[in-house]
Amino acid sequence: MTINEEAILKGYSLGIFPMSESFDDPNIYWINPKKRGVIPLDDFKISKSLKKEIKKKKFKITINKNFNQVIKNCAKKTENRPTTWINKEIVELYSNLNQIGHAHSIEAWFKNKLVGGLYGVSLGSAFFGESMFSKMSNASKICLVYLIANLKIKGFTLLDTQFVNPYLKKLGAIEITRKNYLKLLGKSLKKNTNFSKKVSQSSIYEIIHSMTQTS
């Protein structure tokens, strides 16, 4: 299968996704893990401390304002991340997917500077989270909370994180079998949603309030 924008969307519908070995590797490979990471939207909760950080409105949160810079930041090598799986071709392919309405970004801004964000792909009522970055404490966490609030408001049924790492586990990610994942995916693809649909800030905060832990 040639890896282009159409093939990427087809791959997601089949339960596979593309990755490279490193930023400097020109090749892209299809990944089909035996276990899949997901964040259950109905069960997602945030801590009271994180809610307090959100209420401070330290960051300005936007959607699809600068997808290209978000994915480029996710592809950058950092002290804690000596290499990434996002190569130049992936940056170009997903930027094209953004242009046609299938790839989306959430951005966190501080004093007009991009300090955090995440990006992913929407298909049906499924959102496939790809990567996130943070230059300030809580920036990417708050982007994730805004993403989930948007997904819930817009009727999404699946948030795929691909894998589960300690960071994502703290944010509510769990592992499920490939078989169970494909069942969830099949149901999600039957329902159409619009990630780009605008929602009010009051709706976002109402959802965030409902997601706060009670203890």
Residue among 49, 80, 63 at smallest CA distance from 151 = 63
Both tokens of residue 161? 């994180």
Q: Within a domain: residue 177?
A: yes
Strands 103-110, 60-63: parallel, antiparallel or unpaired by DSSP? antiparallel
Q: By residue range, what is the domain housing residue 32?
A: 5-210
pLDDT digits (tens, 9 = 90+) for 43-94: 898 988 999 999 999 999 999 999 999 999 999 988 777 788 999 999 999 9
Q: Kindly state whether residue 215 falls inside one of the protein's structural domains.
A: no
Domain-embedded: residue 86:
yes
29 part of a folded domain: yes
Would you say residue 163 lies in a domain? yes
Residue 81 CB neighbour total at 10 angstroms: 11
- Tell me the per-residue pLDDT of 175-200, one tens digit each, with 9 for 90 and over: 999 999 999 999 999 999 999 999 99
At 100, give phi and psi (nearest 5°).
-100, 10
CATH number, domain with residue 132: 3.40.630.70
Domain count along the chain: 1
Global pTM?
0.94
Percent of the chain exceeding pLDDT 70 equals: 98
Percentage of the chain lying above the pLDDT 90 cut: 81
Q: Is residue 110 part of a domain?
A: yes
Q: Is residue 19 part of a domain?
A: yes
